[in-house]
Amino acid sequence: MNHLTPLVSVVIASYNHAPYIEECILSVLAQSYPHVELLVVDDGSTDDSVERIRRLQAEHGFDFQVQQNQGLTRTLNSAIARAKGELIVPFGSDDVMLPGRLAKQVAYLADKPEVGISAGNIELIDSDGKLFPECRQRRDVPFRRMDFDDVFMERKPYAPATTLMIRKEALDKVGGFDSEIRLEDLAIELKVTHAGYYIDCLGEVLARHRKHKTNSSKNHRFMIDSILRIYELYSDHPQYEFVRTRFLNSMFLKCSNRDRKLARDLLEQIPFRYWSKKTWRGLMRLYFSPLEKA
């Protein structure tokens, strides 16, 4: 394949997203970039996702497999092992690509072998596909190049998972996604940059990310445990304790008037010398604010 028009393999791992999966798949099929391989795997859905996907597959002929539930990272790894593309795009089954997305990222990566992951900005939509209010959007984040320290220490705005395009060569070099870690985006961004590649985030909107009640980010305990496990892989980094406790402080503040048991568990993990303004604000919320609905 010509290096200017490489094959892009888009991998959608679908799990109980029947209301969204058709719009997601159609947004991939509608891409202006012509060289796209679409692989869809249903990971043990219990809703009518499979029937909906089969109808689209009969019309459009993409690769579709159904399996017992294995979890996101295992599903991604097995699909990527079958993928033929030089560039891999893991894509959430509830999200939507804008039509020129893949073309822009392929063109950007063409002469930049040092960049292992290309990304961009997102728009937030709700469960009905309506745009969130402007005050909640982050469309205008400027271009940024990130190395490992930028990602690990959050020195620059993150690369949204919804927009990742990863070189297959970089994935192979780091051994793919970690099957034991379910929060895949942060883990792979750290692995790829730790291997010496950059992440370049384009300063334009490439996709729409759907926020709804079943987003994994809504499960605070799952998210916290996953991120702490990811950080622990780099515990030899000189800033590890700072990064870990800054995250714990942020999550303590967030949970302090939503999930008080979790907040107390988090507080126990923060040594007093690492208490910050967020810790004190969280304590005020924990003991003096009414409980909010999560």
**Radius of gyration of the CA atoms of the chain, in A:** 20
Asked if residue 262 lies in contact with residue 220, where contact means CB atoms within 8 angstroms, the answer is yes
Q: What is the pTM of this model?
A: 0.92
User: Which of these ranges, 15-29, 192-206, 216-230, 274-288, has the smallest mean pLDDT?
Assistant: 216-230
User: What does the pLDDT read at residue 215?
Assistant: 55
Mean pLDDT of the chain: 93
User: What does the pLDDT read at residue 3?
Assistant: 64
Sign of CA dihedral 247, 230, 240, 156: negative
> pLDDT tens digits, residue range 117-172?
999 999 999 988 898 988 888 888 999 999 999 999 999 999 999 999 999 999 99
Higher confidence at residue 71 or residue 144? Answer: 144
In our burial notation (b when 16+ CB lie closer than 10 A, e otherwise), range 121-152 reads bbbbbeeeeeeeeeeeeeeebeebebebebbb
Tokens 């000189």 sit on residue: 238
Model confidence band, residue 19 (pLDDT cutoffs 50, 70, 90): very high
175: left (phi over 0), alpha (psi -120 to 50) or beta: left
What HEC string does 135-201 produce? HHCCCCCCCEEECHHHHHCCCCCCCCHHHCEEEHHHHHHHCCCCCCCCCHHHHHHHHHHHCCCEEEE
User: What does the pLDDT read at residue 1?
Assistant: 45
User: What does the pLDDT read at residue 146?
Assistant: 98
- What are the two backbone dihedrals, phi and then psi, of residue 169, each rounded to the nearest 5 degrees? -60, -40
Across 15-36, average pLDDT: 96
Tokens 């990971």 sit on residue: 43
- What domains, with CATH codes, occur in the chain? 8-210 (3.90.550.10), 219-288 (no CATH)
Task: Take residue 75 and report the two structure tokens written for it.
Answer: 């599903």
User: What does the pLDDT read at residue 292?
Assistant: 80
The CA distance from 41 to 72, in Å, is 10
User: What does the pLDDT read at residue 214?
Assistant: 62
Q: Which of 187, 170, 186, 169 is nearest to 178 (CA)?
A: 187
User: What does the pLDDT read at residue 47?
Assistant: 94
The CA distance from 18 to 112, in Å, is 38
> pLDDT tens digits, residue range 230-278?
999 999 999 999 999 999 999 999 999 999 999 999 999 999 999 999 9
Statement: residue 182 has pLDDT above 80: no
Model confidence band, residue 222 (pLDDT cutoffs 50, 70, 90): confident
User: What does the pLDDT read at residue 4?
Assistant: 72
pLDDT-above-90 percentage for the chain: 83
